[in-house]
Structures are given as C-alpha cells and as structure tokens.
Amino acid sequence: MANVSVTVNGEVYDVSDVEPRLLLSDFLRDRLGLTGTHVGCEHGVCGACTVLVNGDSVRSCLLLAVQTHGAEITTVEGLGSPDQLNVLQAQFREHHGLQCGFCTPGMLMTGEDLLRKYPLATDEDIREGLSGNLCRCTGYQNIVAAIRSAAALRREEKP
C-alpha cells in the first residue's frame, strides 16, 4: 500500500492505503469521489476518462494512481460550475455538443489541451485532435463547432 499526494483541481489530497494497481480513473472516482471522470473502455481507446496531468491530457484508465504522486491533475470538475460554465463548456452548450454526456468530460479535457497547445485553424485540425475521443451520440459535428467557436473566442481574447 502506498501514500499518494496529489493536487486535484487546486486542492491537495493526501491519500493513504493506495494499492499500487489502482487505476488513476478509479482513484479519482472512488477514492476522491470525483465521478465526473467517466470510464468507457478501460483500455485506452475511447478517451472518456481523459484528464490533465501536469497540463497534458492523459487517459486516466491507463495510468496508475501511484504514478501521479506529486502531480497536478485537472478533471472536468476543475473547469466551470453549473452556474458558471467556462468558455469551452459554454460553447458545448451553445452548439449542442453533447447528448448523453458520457464522453463529454473527456471531450472537454482533450478540447482544453488542444486549445492551449494548437491554433486549431481548420476543422480538419480539430477533428484530427479529437480522433482519440469517441462519441456515439453527436456525429461530432457539433463538438467540432463548439471547439471551433471556443478557439475563435480565445483568439479574440489573445490578439
């Protein structure tokens, strides 16, 4: 059993009795109660469990919790709140970029990562960036529109 100290969404957690085999996704959901991170495949394909670890998007089902000792993690709960959505969340709502909402946390975390790192000048860039996140409801069209719009808003902010 290990101790894991992590900062999640700005809050420090010191968690003891962590089995070395515990997945980061299960750690976040079951030990920290952060059930916004969804588990869709547990083999690293669907992307629903995507979170940011030290600023990079990762699949939390492919990381062990103990590997994140000392790391800074952002989950969907660390973006906006229901009464104050962040820019990307608001664009998802505006463009109907979600239906059942199960893939949505992963889409948002990947989207945040893409928006921070890439200009996302074309829809092809956005689609390529999203290719590791599966959605079965939307046909991606409105997710692409939401990220396109968030990218435009971000460009306006940072001329």
Sign of CA dihedral 18, 36, 118, 87: negative
In 9-157, the DSSP E strands lie at 11-18, 50-53, 56-59, 72-74
| 76 sits near other proteins (criterion: CB under 8 A) | yes
Under the binding rule (CB under 8 A), the answer on residue 154 touching other proteins is no
Residue from 133, 130, 105 nearest 35 by CA: 105
In the complex, what is the shortest distance from the CB of residue 85 to other proteins, in angstroms, rounded to a whole number? 6
Cβ–Cβ < 8 Å for 26, 64: no
Alpha-carbon gap, residue 51 to 36, rounded angstroms: 10
Sole window of 14-22, 52-60, 112-120, 151-159 interacting with other proteins (rule: CB under 8 A): 14-22
Please report whether residue 6 would count as binding other proteins according to CB under 8 A: no
Candidates 10-18, 62-70, 87-95, 151-159; binding stretch for other proteins (CB under 8 A): 87-95
Closer residue to other proteins, CB minimum distance, 40 or 52:
40
From the centroid of its chain, how far is CA 101?
Answer: 13
Catalog residues that contact other proteins under the rule CB under 8 A: 19, 21-22, 26, 29, 33-43, 45-46, 48, 75-77, 79-83, 85, 89, 92-94, 96, 98-105, 108, 123-124, 126-128, 130-144
